[in-house]
Each structure stands twice: as C-alpha cells, then as structure tokens.
C-alpha cells in the first residue's frame, strides 16, 4: 500500500517542497514486474520517463539501496521514491522583471535574489515573483518539458532573505540537482546578524524544526525530536560587536526558516526578524541614544538580517564542482558598518 511520507506544504526554505516522498511495501502476491512500470502505475502523474530519470539519479531505493530501471520487484520489497511534484494548474504570467544572473549555461543558472522578492507565486503573491521573471526570461528560449509554471525551481529562500539560488533549465538538471539537495551534497553558507554574543565561538545545532502550535506561520525548534523534521545548522562567529554578532551558518539540512528558528533557539534571534522576536532590542542599554541608534538600524534593514552568501554544487552534466558567492547587499552591509562604528566609538 502506498503512503505519502512527506507531502507537506512548506513556505520558503525547504528545498523538498517541490518534490514528494513515497514509500511502498510490495504486496505478498505481487508478480515479478519491472520497477519503472510498477511505479508508473502506482504513482499519480508519474510518467515512465520521469520515473526512469529518478531511478538514474539514485532517487529510488529498494530495500535501502539505489536500483536500476530493469530491476524486477519482489513481494515485500520496500521501495522509497523521491519524485518531482506535478506543476499546479494556475498559469504563471510572464513579467519582465530584472534578474541578477550570476551564472548561466545550457543546463542551469544561478540567480542573486534581492530581499523583498518572493520566489514563486502563492496566495497573496501571484505576481512580481522570481518565477514570474524566470518564465518571461525562459519564454525567449526553447520550451523545456517539466518547467511549466516553475522553471527549474529546486529550492527556495525566504522573501526577505537575499542571496543565491540555483535554477535548473532541463529535467535532467532538475533531477540531478534535486538529488544533491536530497543527499545534502549542496554547500550553502549564510551570513546572519544576530542579537548578542554567543558564549562559544562556533557550534552545531541539532534540533528538529516544525510548526509552532501557537502560530502556524512560525517554526519552532524541537531538540527532543518530538515534532517537525530533522535539522542541522553549523554556525561560527565571524565578528562580535558587543550587542550583536555576525555569524556564518552552514546548512546541513534545509528546513523552512531553519536558521531563523535555530538561532532563536540558541538565544540569539536574527536582527530585525519580526517573526522571531528580533525586531526589539534584545541586548544593550536603555539609554535613549542607544534606542534611537537601533531604530535607525531597523530602518536601514527593514527585514531579517540574513543573506545566502555562497552556493556550491556539482554540475549536473559536466560533473564539475561549481562555487558562487554573492556580496552582502547594501542594506546589510550598511547596518554592519554602523554597528562596527558604534562599538568602536563607545570604547
């Protein structure tokens, strides 16, 4: 019997939102059948070609091991599948939105997304998204199968987070990149300005991330693993500025709001992160001059201070290791400079 394991509706940062997990235990009376035919019949909206591509990418496991398209399933085989979801029916309107393209070839492109831009259309944001711009851009290229409505989207970042995203331009690239995300082979580095100075210089947060029972828009950390999904964030302090710190975060997993929830759990919410309590003074004096300074900083960066600085992965076709960096945007860099000047002046 089929069971949809992780078909969840996540918000921004979960790279698996556009893909589904399925788990099958083959019936005792099942006759020997090629696995690609079996899955084509079992999984809704799955073509044989799409199933075969998932198998070739190592996204179909039989009894815990990758399989081949010609494998014949046996009774009680345990099959796990990682498949791209079908596109939603709503048409995405192409819009001539400027895109900051860092890299592009025949198979993929890397985009530096500005803060304030939603990645794809959803309730309340049907236009002006990165995908609207990509559809317009891709309409000037040959139509690629599987990209209708969401051209090559493999992962996402929050609306108010700036930084790098990789976009696939073919089904092969999408499948291969999705496989790298699935197996945590993508290197992602974020820069965050957080409240306070962590006691340690670096560390690793291992705590499930799941929706808060009090507010479904907010994610909470569950270190006991009682709720949510396994999540791991490696962090390191780059600069201590007395009341705030510049922290580097490397994602091992990519859950919704993972860094924001994990840093709050650590006791150091992101600067001006309204959803996680960072839009209030969490560290410092009560003097009016200091309060005014912090408010000026809030005005300079009216969003959470989080930037997807670097992205590293293996090219889906050439197998070459690629690495990209995006400098801090003006708002983040300006606030960081202000804090540096403030603590220097105070000494």
pLDDT tens per residue, range 326-346: 999 999 999 999 999 998 877
Helix axes 48-56, 171-182, angle to 10 degrees: 50
Of 307 and 344, more confident: 307
pLDDT at 13 over 90: no
Q: pLDDT at position 187, please?
A: 95
* pLDDT(18) > 70: no
> What token pair was written down for 296?
């000026």
Over residues 133-175, the pLDDT tens digits come to 988 887 653 334 444 556 677 888 999 999 999 988 887 888 8
Give the distance between the most distant pair of CA atoms in the chain: 78
Asked whether the beta carbons of 168 and 146 are under 8 A apart, the reply is no
- Kindly tell me if the per-residue pLDDT of 209 is higher than 90: yes
* Predicted TM-score of the model (pTM): 0.74
The active-site residue out of 158, 160, 220, 273 is 158
Q: Pick the more confident residue, 31 or 110.
A: 110
Q: Which of 27-41, 148-162, 296-310 has the highest mean pLDDT?
A: 296-310
158 as an active site residue: the answer is yes
pLDDT at position 141 is: 38
Bigger pLDDT: 41 vs 112: 112
Judge whether 121 and 167 are in contact, CB under 8 Å: no
């Amino acid at each position: 019997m089929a069971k949809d394991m992780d078909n969840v509706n996540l918000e921004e940062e979960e790279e698996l939102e556009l893909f589904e997990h399925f788990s099958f235990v083959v019936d005792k009376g099942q006759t020997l059948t090629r696995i690609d035919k079996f899955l084509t019949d079992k999984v809704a909206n799955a073509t044989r070609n799409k199933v075969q591509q998932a198998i070739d990418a190592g996204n179909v496991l039989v009894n815990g091991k990758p399989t081949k398209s010609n494998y014949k399933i046996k009774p009680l085989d345990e099959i796990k599948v990682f498949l791209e979801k079908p596109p939603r029916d709503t048409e995405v309107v192409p819009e001539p939105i400027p895109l900051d393209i860092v890299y592009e070839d025949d198979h993929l492109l890397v985009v530096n997304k500005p803060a304030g831009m939603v990645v794809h259309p959803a309730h309340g944001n049907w236009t002006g998204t990165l995908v609207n711009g990509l559809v317009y851009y891709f309409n000037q290229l040959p139509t690629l199968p599987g990209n209708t409505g969401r051209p090559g989207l493999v992962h996402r970042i929050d609306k108010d987070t700036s930084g790098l995203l990789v976009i696939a331009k073919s089904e092969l690239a999408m499948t291969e990149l999705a496989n790298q995300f699935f197996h945590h082979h993508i290197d992602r580095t974020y820069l965050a300005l957080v409240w306070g100075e962590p006691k340690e210089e670096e560390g690793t947060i291992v705590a499930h991330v799941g929706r808060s029972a009090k507010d479904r828009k907010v994610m909470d950390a569950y270190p006991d693993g009682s709720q949510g999904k396994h999540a791991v964030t490696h962090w390191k302090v780059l600069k201590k500025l007395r009341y705030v710190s510049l922290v580097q975060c490397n994602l091992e997993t990519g859950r919704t709001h993972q860094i924001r929830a994990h840093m709050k759990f650590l006791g150091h919410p992101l600067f001006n992160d309204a959803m996680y309590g960072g839009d209030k003074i969490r560290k410092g004096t009560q003097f009016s001059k200091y309060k005014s300074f912090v408010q000026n900083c809030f005005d300079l960066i009216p969003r959470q201070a989080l930037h997807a600085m670097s992205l590293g992965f293996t090219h889906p076709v050439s197998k070459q290791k690629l690495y990209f960096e995006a400098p801090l945007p003006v708002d983040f860099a300006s606030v960081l400079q202000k804090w540096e000047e403030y603590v220097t002046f105070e000494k």
